[in-house]
Amino acid sequence: MLRFALLFILIPLVARMFWRTVDHFIEGVTGQTRHPAARPQAPPHGVQMVRDPVCGTFILPERAVTLLDGRTRLFFCSNACRDKYRARPSTRSGRPESAEGRTA
């Protein structure tokens, strides 16, 4: 009885593994997926990212915390990095540093 139960479980698993292997082999030979919704495709080109001026992390602009200082828009990975940037004293006057001339 125990052998029958194990075979009842083992046979479908082996069959599924076999057909998945065949499916992947066919995908590799043809270069096309049979189930395009199952595997999202990468974008055809790179995504433009910006760099946080405080910690150096690269982030997507639409997910970044921004700070507009004059005509310059700066991008930060978090509110903490933005606040550190705001609190940073300038080397000349002791006041918070201006964002002029910085690149994001």
| Rounded Cα gap, residues 39 and 35, in angstroms | 7
Q: Average pLDDT per run of 10 along the chain, which is 104 residues long?
A: 84 92 85 65 73 92 87 92 86 48 43
Amino acid at 5: A
Record the pTM. Answer: 0.45
Query: So what's the pLDDT on residue 5?
Result: 84
